[in-house]
Amino acid sequence: MGLGEIVNGLLTSRERLIWEASLARNARDYMKRADLAREGERPVALRIILAGWAQKYKQMPDGRRQILGLVLPGELCDLDLFTVARTDHSIAAVRRLSVAEISRPDAQRLFEQCPNLAPALCWAAIIGAAVQREWTINIGQRNALERVAQLLCEIYVRQRDVPSGGGGSCDFLLTQGQMAEAMGLTQVHVNRVVQQLRLRCAVEIRNMRLEIPDFAQLAALASFNATYLHLGEPAMLVERARMLFLPDLDGRDRPIDGALSSAI
């Protein structure tokens, strides 16, 4: 999703060292299905996924669950620490997970030491919202075959980018039950759709890997358009940010825009 790329572009060498040290110092492991945060709790950390996948979800009183989104390695879980009094959803490990959990005091010091970090995290939050909108469209407008095909395309592109030709493979850590909770389908229905995609597009999901021999064919089936992921835009944002309000590379600071500096 480009967070690492934009961080590398916006932060000075000194800031990058501070940022990377903070991620390493605050790393924590979670076991499969363990909650990182629960709905209704007070936000206590800024979370960046280091390895594994996290899932955002809401659970009904009767036990039914809707997976709202996935957070992949290198991605920001959310900015709840700076925006809300109570978390309005839960976050759990899909499988074994490593995450940097930066407390409020540490995050405040981090922003003081790395002023160029704010626009990078704002950008990551904006992309997260764009993905959420696409998931809403997926459940509201696409049929079951299109929903699963869209999910597979998105997960592939978020890890590998759009292939220039043919296809390839990527990690795929979801069970069919979790796919059902994400797509608003039953597990039986998901199984049938996966079988259809295997026959129509030769898609394979096995051993926690997704294989897509012909990405263009699968994307056409889902009417998948990667525009909402804003691929390739970090470099443009870096250049624009440098021109407007970020420090020069030689360390001479320009004034930082008030709206941006107060956004986080």
For 15-29, what is each residue's pLDDT tens digit?
A: 999 999 999 999 999
Residue 8, beta-bridge partner list: none
Give the domain ranges of the chain. Answer: 3-135+233-261, 142-227
Where residue 8 falls among pLDDT bands split at 50, 70, 90? confident
Contacts for 214 with CB less than 8 Å, ≥ 6 apart: 166, 167, 201, 202
**How many residues does this entry show for the chain?**
264
Contacts for 228 with CB less than 8 Å, ≥ 6 apart: 130, 131, 133, 134
Residue 20 host element (H or E): helix 13-25
18-27 b/e (C-beta count within 10 Å ≥ 16 → b)? ebeebeeebe
Q: Is 142-227 a domain of CATH 1.10.3720.10?
A: no
Per-residue confidence (pLDDT) for residue 256, from 0 to 100: 38
d(CA 195, CA 202): 9
Per-residue confidence (pLDDT) for residue 243, from 0 to 100: 64
Q: How many CB atoms lie within 10 A of CB 64?
A: 9
d(CA 149, CA 201): 10
Residue 188 host element (H or E): helix 187-201
Just give the CATH number of 3-135+233-261: 2.60.120.10
- Determine the average pLDDT of the residues in 11-15: 90
Three-state secondary structure call for residue 124: helix
- Determine the average pLDDT of the residues in 166-174: 96
Q: 106: burial class by Cβ within 10 Å (0-12, 13-18, 19+)?
A: middle
- Determine the average pLDDT of the residues in 253-258: 40
Question: Is the confidence at residue 257, as pLDDT, over 90?
Answer: no
Q: Return the DSSP state at 59.
A: E
Of 53-62, 157-166, 216-225, the range with the lowest mean pLDDT is 157-166
d(CA 168, CA 173): 16
Where residue 141 falls among pLDDT bands split at 50, 70, 90? very high
- Pick from 94, 85, 107, 117: nearest CA to 26: 107
d(CA 76, CA 88): 17
pLDDT digits (tens, 9 = 90+) for 78-101: 899 888 999 999 999 999 999 999
